[in-house]
Structure 1
Amino acid sequence: MIYSTTESIAGREIAEIVGVVTGNVVQSKHVGRDIMAGLKSLIGGEIRGYTEMLNEARDLAMQRLAESALEKGADAVVGVRFTTSAIMDGSSEIMVFGTAVKLR
């Protein structure tokens, strides 16, 4: 599966647009990470626990995007974008979306 944030794949021609595909994850905070984040906020710097959590959530969202594209018979996903939103206090959603296409 090829992914691109651009609207085309270099050196390839889009034969067919299959449709919009998405992948999302709603991730909640972990109490241990919250405690460490609170302490880290006093001295500043990166909160690695949250960085790791968001990286894992982003990877899972991409996996779900790929599964959705494969189910539609796509070879690639173009125009890939990420978005985040707060769902409720202590949790957020990471969504990835794009256009599934078949290549020549």
Structure 2
Amino acid sequence: MISTTTPTVEGKAIVEYKGIVFGEVVAGVNVIKDFVAGLSNVFGGRSTTYEDELIQARQQAIAEMEQRAMQVGANAVVGVDIDYEVLGADNGMLMVTASGTAVVVQ
């Protein structure tokens, strides 16, 4: 499956549009991860705990979007956009959404 942020796939022609597809992941960040990330805030440096969580959520959202594209008969997704939000009363949930247009390319 080809997924690209561009509106076309270089060297291929879009022959059919299948519609917009989405992949959504909502991930909770637990107390231990919050504590470890808080140490990074105090002592400085990058929070690899949150970075790893973000990377995993993004990869899952893209994989879900590609799976939905395959279900409608597409072999590529163009115009991919990734959005990030925090949810919950204490901002303890991370939502990652991947969206794009499912297409058939030749």
Tell me the TM-score range normalised by the shorter chain.
over 0.9
Q: Secondary structure at the match of 2:10?
A: coil
1:33-65 Cα offsets, whole Å, 9 max, x none, are 111111110111100010001111111111100
Letter in 1 for 2:27: Q
Q: Secondary structure at the match of 1:10?
A: coil
Q: Secondary structure at the match of 1:60?
A: helix
TM-score (norm: length of structure 1): 0.96
* 1:56-95 equivalence runs, <5 A: 56-88=56-88, 89=90, 90-95=92-97
Structure 2 unaligned regions, length at least 5: none
Match for residue 30 of structure 2? 30
TM-score (norm: length of structure 2): 0.94
Q: Paired residues, what number?
A: 104
Over aligned residues, Cα RMSD in angstroms?
A: 0.8
Letter in 1 for 2:72: K
> Post-superposition, which runs of at least 4 consecutive aligned residues in structure 1 deviate over 2 A?
none
